[in-house]
């Protein structure tokens, strides 16, 4: 396993931490965790506040392609692909790359980009519906933390099973008590979050040997 920041080129999102903390309650969390229209395209308090394609993932796609040495004909899976923007950009950056996605959100998949139609699957990260070693690379960005800790271990085993360790996972984390306080104020869908050491213990339990990094929420 190696810690590597493969999302470093992604534009930073402006977050109003105080407003999110004021608006967040059990009802808001319950709606957000349905991952329906409210989460993707509803009010900001439920999630993205409008998630639209703008090409920002193309630079991330380039970094992933370079890091894993991806070439036309290879197969890549994005676990937690949402509307499939990264899947689209992977194919744009490497024509001939066989990129696919999986997400639990029916709404997101029904609002995908035309280029990804037929490439996105409805499913759960804890039970990936593909044979062993069926992908050259598996990616999961800011998704696995939406599971319980037990679910995290299961999902990481699934990613390992499909990829043989040629994988990259990024999740919510924090390095200091101050960062944890900010993260807890902002997070609405994550069922498990921890310091890096806690995540690495879960990865080790799963036998995961791929790469990883953290989403640190800052004010």
Residue 1 has pLDDT above 90, yes or no: no
User: Given this model, what pLDDT does residue 14 score?
Assistant: 78
Of 103, 163, 168, the closest CA to residue 135 belongs to 163
Token pair listed for 80: 């937690």
Are 121 and 100 in contact, with CB atoms under 8 Å apart?
yes
Residue 63 has pLDDT above 80, yes or no: yes
What's the domain count of the chain? 1
Listed in sequence order, the residues at least 6 apart from 197 whose beta carbon sits closer than 8 Å to its beta carbon are none
In a domain, 19, yes or no: no
In a domain, 45, yes or no: no
Consecutive H or E run containing 101: strand 98-103
Average pLDDT over residues 86-111: 98
Each residue of 21-60: pLDDT tens digit?
899 999 999 999 999 999 999 999 999 999 999 999 999 9
User: Given this model, what pLDDT does residue 45 score?
Assistant: 95
In a domain, 70, yes or no: yes
How confident is the prediction for the chain on average, in pLDDT? 96
In a domain, 196, yes or no: yes
User: Given this model, what pLDDT does residue 33 score?
Assistant: 97
In a domain, 2, yes or no: no
Q: Which domain holds residue 117?
A: 56-216
User: Which CATH number characterizes residue 198's domain?
Assistant: 3.40.50.150
Per DSSP, the three-state class of 173 is strand
**pTM listed for this prediction:** 0.95
């Amino acid at each position: 396993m190696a810690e590597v920041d493969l999302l470093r080129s992604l534009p930073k999102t402006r977050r109003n931490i105080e407003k999110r903390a004021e608006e967040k309650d059990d009802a808001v969390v319950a709606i957000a965790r349905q991952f329906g229209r409210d989460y993707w395209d509803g009010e900001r308090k439920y999630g993205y506040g409008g998630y639209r394609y703008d090409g920002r993932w193309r630079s991330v796609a380039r970094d992933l392609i370079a890091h894993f040495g991806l070439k036309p004909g290879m197969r890549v899976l994005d676990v937690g692909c949402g509307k499939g923007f990264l899947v689209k950009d992977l194919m744009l950056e490497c024509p001939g790359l066989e990129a696919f996605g999986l997400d639990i959100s029916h709404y997101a998949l029904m609002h995908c980009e035309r280029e990804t139609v037929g490439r996105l699957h409805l499913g759960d990260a804890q039970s990936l519906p593909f044979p062993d070693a069926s992908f050259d690379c598996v990616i999961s960005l800011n998704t696995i933390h939406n599971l319980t800790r037990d679910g995290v271990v299961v999902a990481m085993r699934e990613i390992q099973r499909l990829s043989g360790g040629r994988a990259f996972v990024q999740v919510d984390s924090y390095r200091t008590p101050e960062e944890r306080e900010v993260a807890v104020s902002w997070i609405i869908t994550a069922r498990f979050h921890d310091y890096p050491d806690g995540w690495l213990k879960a990865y080790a339990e799963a036998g995961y040997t791929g790469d990883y990094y953290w989403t640190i929420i800052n004010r």
